[in-house]
Structure 1
Amino acid sequence: MSETVVDTSQGGGGQDRNQRPTEDQVFEILSNRRRRYVFHYLKQRDREVYLREVAEQVAAWENDKSTRDLSSAETKRVKTALHQHHLPKMDDRGFVQYDATRETVQLDENVADLEVYLDVVPGADIPWSLYYLGLAGLGIVMLTGAWADLGPLASIPEFSCAAFIVVTLLVSATIHTYVTYSRLRLGGTEKPPGVSDK
């Protein structure tokens, strides 16, 4: 499961190349995994690339293989889908500049600096939002117990409870920030968020 967070400060309109895409357009384009992979790859390269190069890397991520281990059928399937559907759609929405004749593609300058973060939550994990909600609940219980002299919390000063909560929040926020900015940003790592590291 993934939640997309987009840092886009300007609205855009339809197919106008002079404006940044709207948040709705960003979500529409990046709701598809294959297009997220294209966006990730182009953010990394920051130059015009050939369709075959993009198709090989996307196919490798989808099949959890290296590019040299791909079959020609696996690459061709992705290349055809990118050429016929995904890249024209991304071009139409102002995400990429796709030259179907030359089979070259690059990010449009209006999205080249767009930062997109995915909150990838493996099956057994919980999202950060629920983690912080639980942390806040624990803090309320601890402070209430210390203030009302309840049970084992009666012997702990209120200041110590508050200090524990603040330190825990600071450490959690630091880890969350590191994970988000270094591992969950499209174009920020070698592989896109959600692709295994093996």
Structure 2
Amino acid sequence: MLRNRSLPESVVYDILANSRRRETIRHLTDTAGGRTVSLRKLSEAIATDETGQSPPPRPCRESVYNSLHQTHLPKLAELGIVEYNLEARTVSVRNSAREVDQYLALLSPSGLTWGEYYRTLGIVSLLAVVTSLAEIPLVDSVDPLLWASGFLVAFALSVTYQLWSVRWYLRQRFL
């Protein structure tokens, strides 16, 4: 999967074992785009994700803020995943976070792994083409070539989305 890892796999799994650490990495790499974020904004974003309420309730915001400040950000900073300025209470992602984030990128937006997603899409496309060729009512009203073409477009769009979601890794690896 990844070569030249600086973090052992057991450490990566330990990092990802906590949902607040996962959300911190996800927020900093996806939403913040690598920019420096205040601890307050980061804790609000994570509390909003946890509660589904915007703005999140004050006790949840405080809980997230304190756990990030006292536990999670110092741990991530010690491992070189984030840059955490204790005095300014700001945090930014470091390049080594890409290594951890790669484990998060294995899931498609639907929650399936990309392998499961592509297998499902392949089976559905095969069934659509075969039922169209077998002249099953409703499905046979669409030409099998059109079914196949439509699913090829779906595969192409899916691959494009998947590659776009890990573009930082590809850029770092091949440029």
The TM tier, using the shorter chain, reads: 0.5 to 0.7
How many residue pairs get matched?
153
Conservation of the 8 A alpha-carbon contact between 1:95 and 1:110 = yes
Conservation of the 8 A alpha-carbon contact between 1:97 and 1:105 = yes
Is the aligned partner of 1:119 residue 2:138?
A: no
The residue number in structure 2 matching 1:173 is: 155
In structure 2, distance between residues paired with 1:177 and 1:61: 27
Q: Which has the higher contact order (CA 8 A, sep 6+)?
A: 1
Richer in helix (by share): 2
Letter in 2 for 1:135: V
The residue number in structure 2 matching 1:56 is: 44
Consecutive aligned runs of 4 or more in structure 1 exceeding 6 Å deviation: none
Q: Determine which of 6, 11, 14 is the counterpart of 2:5.
A: 11
Q: Which runs of 5+ in 1 are unaligned?
A: 1-6, 13-20, 154-159, 187-198
Q: Determine which of 135, 144, 148 is the counterpart of 2:124.
A: 135
Q: Determine which of 80, 85, 95 is the counterpart of 1:99.
A: 85
What percentage of residue pairs aligned between the two structures are identical? 23
The change in CA–CA distance for 1:109 and 1:129 in structure 2 (over 3 A counts) is closer
1:179-198 matches, within 5 Å, as 180=162, 185=165
The residue number in structure 2 matching 1:36 is: 22
In structure 2, distance between residues paired with 1:137 and 1:70: 45
The change in CA–CA distance for 1:171 and 1:22 in structure 2 (over 3 A counts) is farther
Conservation of the 8 A alpha-carbon contact between 1:10 and 1:22 = no
Whose radius of gyration is greater, 1 or 2? Answer: 1
Query: Could you list the per-position Cα deviations for residues 15-67 of structure 1 after superposition, in whole angstroms to 9, with x for gaps in the alignment?
Result: xxxxxx4566445433533223212322233232222221111111211122x
Letter in 2 for 1:173: F
Q: CA deviation at 1:93?
A: 2.7
Note the aligned Cα RMSD (angstroms): 3.9
In structure 1, distance between residues paired with 2:79 and 2:96: 11
Query: Could you list the per-position Cα deviations for residues 110-167 of structure 1 after superposition, in whole angstroms to 9, with x for gaps in the alignment?
Result: 33696652324379xxx5134134136537x839x97xxxx649xxxxxx75x45641
